[in-house]
Structure 1
Amino acid sequence: MTSIGIHDLSVATAHYVVDLTELAEAAGVPPQKYLTGLGQEAMSFPAPDEDIVTMGAAAALPILERHGTERIRTVLFATESGIDQSKAAGVFVHKLLGLPSGVRVVELKQACYSGTAALQMAAGIVARDPREQVLLIMSDVARYQLDTPGEPTQGAAAAAMLVSADPALLELEPTTGIHTADVNDFWRPNDSTTAMVDGGLSLRAYLASLMGAWDDFHARGGAGFHTIERFVYHQPFTKMAQKAHARLSQHTSHAVSPNALKGSLDYNRLLGNSYTASLYVGLAAMLDNSDDLAGRRVGLFSYGSGSVGEFFTGIVQPDYAQHRRREATLAALEARRPLDIEGYRALHSAHTESSQDRETPRVTSGPFRFSGIQGQARQYEAN
């Protein structure tokens, strides 16, 4: 049987960064509430000429530079920060990246889970014709109202991956566990630029989804807990991954391994929540910061509020270390410009999803920018 999985993985983020110690002090709360309680140190924040398209294209560009476009027949764009109710964000990316016309493009939505739905779809496409590759992009801006409990869990990032036969990074194993339940823990109405969230309910729904997905995975003959060397979890904040692994360990009657999450929290702690990209930013961090994973099994849990969860596993490939992008990701994190609290609040308050014609100021130093709206249609350009 042909192996299928993640052949390449790339991460991009936004122009600005907000220090959570400064945010805590401005809010009049102890910084440790964010640093320790949430496990977050900073959050990326987009410039006025950035959005899910510019970040998604920036994440995908290095993949195309390394592998070319000849075998890509599908682009899947997963997001819960959609910019249009009809046109897929990936169509804008298709043009920015100069992809050929013989490529299908579609957008997927189910809160933070849809990136994993796209990955499973991509695996099916490649299984049908192993000559094809799928470009998968997950890009989001997590935005909550100012002065609310969700504010310190904002963030912005994109992850792009190439799904192919004979993957260089991670071979997907076929068994998955799935759990779906109608829960109003988190949603964003069409007339709102910020999400609604019931924090306590969302925590309980996440853990219930994890237990349900694991039980389904186990019932379908998935790998035993003791055979999984590392775990990566969806991270609305990094402390959530630690809580999740402790609960799953208890659920399966295993001790919590101190190395189970090693490396996987490093990038999300500095980026904040990136919704659909969060799990795969965590995977990139684990691969980038561990040199001993070749041949090891990794367990991944994807959660999207509302809610859908999925647990699945993959085998890290022998030469994965030669294909990592650690230096590029660290450079992107370092390149962000610090944004003081006054500037952050002003940008947050000025955000609009209006379709009125306008030009955006040139701010981002990234490879692509949102240049404005003409004739009520969004415009993008290379920077």
Structure 2
Amino acid sequence: MQENGQKENTKTVIIRRLVKIALSNVTFDLDIMKVGIDLIHFATSDYFLGMDTFAQEKGIDVNKYYVGIGQEKMSIAPPDEDIVSLAAKAVEPILQQIDRAQITAVMFATETGIDQSKSAGVFLHKLLNLPSRCRMIELKHACYAGAAGLQMATALVKVNPQEKILVIAADIAKYDQDSSGEATQGCGAVAMLITQNPRILEIEPGSGYFTDDVMDFWRPNHRNTALVDGKYSTKVYLSSLKHTWEHFTEQTGRVFEDIDYFCYHIPFTKMADKAHQTLLKKVNSQLDKAQADAKTLPSQIYNRIIGNSYSASLFVGFISLLDNVKDRLDNKRISFFSYGSGCVAEFFTGVIQPGYQTVLMSESHRQQIAQRTELDYPTYIDFYYKTDYAQSDLALPQLNKGRFRFCGIEQDKRLYTQQTPSNAL
């Protein structure tokens, strides 16, 4: 009996060792598996307001905007455009390249939500005919939520490599008329497909993050527009950058010189310059202005002519880098600094994958920007301040030129439709 027991114990030990080896191999495979952005596309509205028109109306030197905050134009959403129609416009070109039935989750990041209970993604689900075996969740923390969605999606795919997850960041930045924030409005949506073996960007493990309860920007439930303390918000943004950088270097061991290009959250374009100068000073960099600009300016081009898109703006910057940098980016390391007022911030990196250019949708981005219609100031006011959305029933004029349209409200239910693209206005 004792001999049989010894044999049994020996078998148990061998089995345990084999299981341990198998599990260690699984862990190793997970560690080396690449996960990140396989496809990425952005959308903006069909209209814009020039900062020259804005400055003339306000009686202000236009250079306060061109030079002072680095803005030339801001995309303006018509009354029948919201975050769902913008998101649909951003996502559909991705879905046309894959089997949409394989999408397993949608993480919809926004701070301009359309319902206090129902996720904006569920409205999108029907509009885009996504599969029923699919999770939908809305994420919120000011402008940080898009980065949170990207990190969560990356973690889910690492656990289950079969997952194909859409991360969407969509917002319409709107402030009170004649407020200090009015010049920094804009709108946009970015859609990202997160998979294993991504063709554009591998998200690297390790990041730096920081949270502090501050009141630099907020929007109470009873308000349609945000409240902001601009100077204080800039101060908190830069302080958060320093904290996340310190944590990032502790977590990853990477240093400033390991990063080839930098993308920052951009509430207004000049903010990215301030952020990079702060980081240069923090690390005692010896780069001259031309060298520093080369690492940041390509990511600012679209924001100058679109304006603030809140949770989407960091990723609009990334797309701007992909579309406009002169050198090839294969195997280059890109950093991302996400800041959400209130505040939560994160600093992380990714590596551009070889051959990434073959799956970019640069022409779509350029066409959208070039084909926008310029608004005069009275029409801009009509678009942004004359529609009362707090009605149980609302029919909206057809001004949205795109395929997807928010057409109104019926018995407190929002209605969306697909239409033939038009030349409204």
Question: TM-score, with normalisation over the residues of structure 2?
Answer: 0.89
- SS across alignment from 2:205: strand
Larger radius of gyration: 2
CA distance in 2, matches of 1:67, 1:246: 41
CA distance in 2, matches of 1:295, 1:127: 21
Superposed CA offset, 1:250-282 (max 9, x none): 001113423111310111111100000000000
Match for residue 196 of structure 1? 227
Tell me the CA shift for residue 121 of structure 1: 0.6
Give, as a single letter, the amino acid of the residue that structure 2 aligns with 1:77: F
The within-5 A match list for 1:112-261 is 112-256=143-287, 257-261=292-296
The within-5 A match list for 1:25-36 is 25-36=56-67
Contact residue 230 and residue 262 of structure 1 kept, 8 A: no
- SS across alignment from 1:148: coil
* Alignment counterpart, residue 305 of structure 1, candidates 334, 341, 352: 341
Which one has the bigger helix percentage?
A: 2
- SS across alignment from 2:171: strand
Tell me the CA shift for residue 71 of structure 1: 2.4
CA distance in 2, matches of 1:348, 1:289: 31
CA distance in 1, matches of 2:169, 2:253: 26
- SS across alignment from 2:300: coil
**Which runs of no fewer than 5 residues in structure 2 stay unpaired?**
1-31, 420-425
Match for residue 9 of structure 1? 40
Contact residue 78 and residue 384 of structure 2 kept, 8 A: no
Give, as a single letter, the amino acid of the residue that structure 2 aligns with 1:268: N
CA distance in 1, matches of 2:313, 2:241: 16
Match for residue 366 of structure 2? 330
Q: Does 1:317 align with 2:353?
A: yes
- The 1:51–1:222 alpha-carbon spacing in structure 2 relative to 1, beyond 3 Å, is farther
- SS across alignment from 1:66: coil
Q: Does 1:97 align with 2:128?
A: yes
Superposed CA offset, 1:26-82 (max 9, x none): 101100000111101000011111000000011000000012213210001000000
CA distance in 2, matches of 1:47, 1:301: 30
* Alignment counterpart, residue 40 of structure 1, candidates 59, 71, 88: 71
Which one has the bigger strand percentage?
A: 1
Contact residue 79 and residue 384 of structure 2 kept, 8 A: no
Give, as a single letter, the amino acid of the residue that structure 1 aligns with 2:339: Y
Match for residue 9 of structure 2? none
Match for residue 276 of structure 1? 311
Q: Does 1:24 align with 2:60?
A: no
The within-5 A match list for 1:342-357 is 342-357=378-393
- SS across alignment from 1:90: helix
% identity of equivalent residues: 45
Contact residue 101 and residue 130 of structure 2 kept, 8 A: no
Contact residue 177 and residue 220 of structure 1 kept, 8 A: yes
Q: CA RMSD in A?
A: 0.9
Tell me the CA shift for residue 234 of structure 1: 0.2
Match for residue 300 of structure 2? 265
Tell me the CA shift for residue 352 of structure 1: 2.8
Superposed CA offset, 1:292-339 (max 9, x none): 211110111000000000000000111111111111001011121111
Tell me the CA shift for residue 138 of structure 1: 0.6
Contact residue 169 and residue 190 of structure 2 kept, 8 A: yes
Q: Does 1:341 align with 2:372?
A: no
- SS across alignment from 2:318: helix
CA distance in 1, matches of 2:92, 2:351: 26
CA distance in 2, matches of 1:282, 1:158: 12
CA distance in 2, matches of 1:377, 1:67: 31
Contact residue 233 and residue 241 of structure 1 kept, 8 A: yes
Give, as a single letter, the amino acid of the residue that structure 1 aligns with 2:317: G
CA distance in 1, matches of 2:407, 2:56: 34
- SS across alignment from 1:267: helix
CA distance in 1, matches of 2:324, 2:331: 16
Task: Give every structure 1 segment of 4 or more consecutive aligned residues whose post-TM-superposition deviation is greater than 4 Å.
Answer: none
Stretch deviating more after TM superposition (219-228 or 299-308)? 219-228
CA distance in 1, matches of 2:48, 2:262: 27
Q: Does 1:288 align with 2:319?
A: no
- SS across alignment from 2:130: coil
Tell me the CA shift for residue 143 of structure 1: 0.4
Match for residue 373 of structure 1? 409
CA distance in 1, matches of 2:279, 2:118: 39
Equivalenced residues, count = 383
Tell me the CA shift for residue 226 of structure 1: 0.5
**Which runs of no fewer than 5 residues in structure 1 stay unpaired?**
none
Tell me the CA shift for residue 356 of structure 1: 1.8
CA distance in 1, matches of 2:252, 2:46: 44
Tell me the CA shift for residue 136 of structure 1: 0.9
- SS across alignment from 1:59: helix
Stretch deviating more after TM superposition (344-353 or 126-135)? 344-353
Contact residue 355 and residue 377 of structure 1 kept, 8 A: no
CA distance in 2, matches of 1:94, 1:335: 28
Give, as a single letter, the amino acid of the residue that structure 2 aligns with 1:366: G
Match for residue 58 of structure 1? 89
CA distance in 1, matches of 2:252, 2:372: 44
Give, as a single letter, the amino acid of the residue that structure 2 aligns with 1:341: Y
CA distance in 1, matches of 2:357, 2:59: 44
- SS across alignment from 1:70: helix
- SS across alignment from 1:365: coil
Match for residue 22 of structure 2? none
- SS across alignment from 1:213: helix
Contact residue 75 and residue 136 of structure 1 kept, 8 A: yes
Contact residue 233 and residue 302 of structure 1 kept, 8 A: yes
